[in-house]
Amino acid sequence: MTQTTPDPQQPASPDAHPEGHLEGHIEGHAGQLAVAVARAHGVETMFTLSGAHVFPMYDGAVKADPPMRLLDVRHEQTAAFAAEATGKLTRVPGLAVLTAGPGVTNGVSAIAQAQFAGSPMVVVGGRAPQNRWGSGSLQELDQPPIVASVSKLARTLPTAGDVLGGMHEAFSAAGSSHRGPVFVDVPMDEFFASASGSLPTVGAGRGEAPDTDAIDRIAALLAASERPVLVLGTDVWADRAEVAALRLVEEAGLPAITNGMGRGLVPGGHPLLVTKARGAALGGADLVVVVGTPLDFRLGYGVFGGKDGATPARVVHVADSAGQVSTHADLAASVSGDLTSVLDGLLAALERHDRPDRSAWVGGLQDTVRGATERDRALLGAEADPIHPARVYGELVPRLADDAVVIGDGGDFVSFAGKFVEPQRPGGWLDPGPYGCLGAGLGAAIAARIARPSAQVVLLLGDGAAGFSLMDVDTLVRHGLPVVMVMGNNSAWGLEKGPMQMLYGYDVAADLAPQTRYDEVVRALGGAGERVTDPRQIGPALDRAFASGVPYLVNVITDVDAAYPRATFGI
């Protein structure tokens, strides 16, 4: 089985400076300086919504040689979610430029999401002028304190002369382990002012070297384990450790579960991918090695097994940086640092041990995967009327190319996708991550279309989620960005309706207008779409959507009673 990885953007070399400047030296207004630093860090697109406070950024983009692409949207959340998704997809920090006050506050949810998911992004905010500060100028808001608790770094660059260094610091912090969002704002009077200085040198930058003794201890635990499971998460992709991860899985013969952007690290259908046997794997393991993802609610807070008096699994946490290692879980061992070094180091250390015969454990999990796959088949082919949401995936999955980007924005409808879509490559699955913010979808789709120009981009939308950002279909249309949107329209906030029924026996605030023609909304905005009520029409509608070359919404009317079977509410 071959593992090909999408070619990520590499940070530009330091000699990729705008022409017309002396090598390494640059002068201009603060917007030009900020754009030059962003470009030196590999940024190709600026996501924004207009406001005079940030005009210098636009002028900097327009006057750069070549100009930097400006992608203007209809809500700042979309700009910030697009920057977040760009960071996730390209592993180069995305750039959002938000005007002062409400522009910045509209971006806060996306910044928080990036902080939770470890997504590299830089948000440049406009800011009321310093020379009038305190006099009550328009949108005079001190923004860094608002953003500080949801970002790696949030600061004002007080003068034009601080912009070169401050922007370099911002991009460096956002793009190094543990990655995340960085916010800077520049007072308007200083944004228009000029300065000069040296463009920074941008290096490739890898994480810290891991402690080799810790790696040896983990290798000893793994070698002694009869029933190990490896969990591979978002940071394995973010830290560019995908090749090392698959090598460890295959050469050490370790059954693996993937989550977040880690989905696809072990391709769907691989004999050692046991995500479909998740319960049996995590419940029956004697050792769970979790790499590149926090031990949060998605992983039972780091407690595995231990039912009916059984001994819980020992847990090892491997993180890209020391601050990410769990402090709440009971760990048998841990290590942090550059994940390729850790995973390759583990494999090398394992070669010094005998490997126990684990064929019964692995074979049992593979049987469970086969059983689950068989059971899924019935749901995927469901002929029920109204349509069962699973049937949408029965039709979609066979139509996905290996390099497809699949984005989830919704509740139950997206949970079904998590169950049925097993990507063939890492870096092509975008879910909201542990922050779980509805409304990220259109921004992520815009980013994906730009980052992966020749790949299928599929946006899975709940009808509730769609309400947060569907107006940004206008952005797709204006910028000529075709995306296939597939909606599971159950006329409800399904993921809330079911649990409320379960807890109270009734529900309120959970119904949406019945069978709304969101496809007609998309058409009115200049895209295309259709409504589907017959399960046999889903496939042909998807074919039309993929062939259309325009933003296209397949509005599938689904059964509100076909709730996703879930064991926890994540709280």
Ligand X SMILES: Cc1ncc(C[n+]2csc(CCOP(=O)(O)OP(=O)(O)O)c2C)c(N)n1
Chain residues in the site for Mg ion (CB under 5 A):
462-464, 490, 492, 494
Q: How far is the CB of 490 from ligand X (least distance, A)?
A: 5
32 or 490: CB nearest ligand X: 490
334 or 490: CB nearest Mg ion: 490
Q: How far is the CB of 471 from ligand X (least distance, A)?
A: 16
Q: How far is the CB of 102 from ligand X (least distance, A)?
A: 17
The per-residue b/e assignment along 442-464, b for 16 or more CB within 10 angstroms, e otherwise, is bbbbbbbbbbbeebbbbbbbbbb
Please, where are the H alpha helices in 318-388? 339-350, 359-380
Name the binder of 465 from ligand X, Mg ion, none, CB < 5-8 A by kind.
ligand X
423 or 488: CB nearest ligand X: 488
- Cross-strand partners of 552: 484, 528
* Nearest by Cα to 416 from 385, 452, 457, 461: 461
Q: How far is the CB of 412 from ligand X (least distance, A)?
A: 4
235 or 463: CB nearest Mg ion: 463
d(CA 195, CA 27): 6
d(CA 202, CA 14): 6
The residue nearest ligand X at its CB is 462
454 or 506: CB nearest ligand X: 506
Q: How far is the CB of 447 from Mg ion (least distance, A)?
A: 24
Q: How far is the CB of 61 from ligand X (least distance, A)?
A: 30
28 or 462: CB nearest Mg ion: 462
Contact at 8 Å (CB) between 47 and 96? yes
d(CA 447, CA 462): 19
Name the binder of 496 from ligand X, Mg ion, none, CB < 5-8 A by kind.
ligand X
Q: From start to end of 233-332, where are the E strands?
A: 256-258, 287-291, 314-319
Q: How far is the CB of 514 from ligand X (least distance, A)?
A: 13
Tell me the backbone φ, ψ of residue 64, rounded to 5 degrees.
-65, 155
Q: Could you tell me the CA-to-CA distances from 434 to 60, 112, 233, 281 in Å, in that order?
A: 35, 10, 12, 22
Q: For residue 296, with 0-12 CB atoms within 10 Å meaning exposed, 13-18 middle and 19 or more buried, which class applies?
A: middle
Q: How far is the CB of 532 from ligand X (least distance, A)?
A: 16
d(CA 489, CA 525): 19
Helix 339-350 × helix 242-252 angle, to 10°: 20
* Vertex 394: Cα angle to 547 and 257 (nearest 5): 110
Contact at 8 Å (CB) between 68 and 101? no
Please, where are the H alpha helices in 253-308? 278-284
Name the binder of 395 from ligand X, Mg ion, none, CB < 5-8 A by kind.
none
250 or 520: CB nearest ligand X: 520
Name the binder of 437 from ligand X, Mg ion, none, CB < 5-8 A by kind.
ligand X
Name the binder of 268 from ligand X, Mg ion, none, CB < 5-8 A by kind.
none
90 or 491: CB nearest Mg ion: 491
Please, where are the H alpha helices in 225-358? 234-238, 242-252, 278-284, 339-350
32 or 415: CB nearest Mg ion: 415
171 or 416: CB nearest ligand X: 416
Q: How far is the CB of 436 from ligand X (least distance, A)?
A: 5
Interacting residues toward ligand X by CB under 6 A: 410-413, 436-439, 462-465, 488, 490, 492-496
d(CA 265, CA 268): 9
Q: How far is the CB of 303 from ligand X (least distance, A)?
A: 25
Name the binder of 439 from ligand X, Mg ion, none, CB < 5-8 A by kind.
ligand X
Helix 412-420 × helix 494-504 angle, to 10°: 110
Name the binder of 256 from Mg ion, ligand X, none, CB < 5-8 A by kind.
none
What tokens appear for 419 in the block? 């169950």
Tell me the backbone φ, ψ of residue 155, rounded to 5 degrees.
-155, 160
What tokens appear for 430 in the block? 């975008």
31 or 464: CB nearest Mg ion: 464
**Length of the chain, in residues:** 571
Q: How far is the CB of 563 from ligand X (least distance, A)?
A: 8
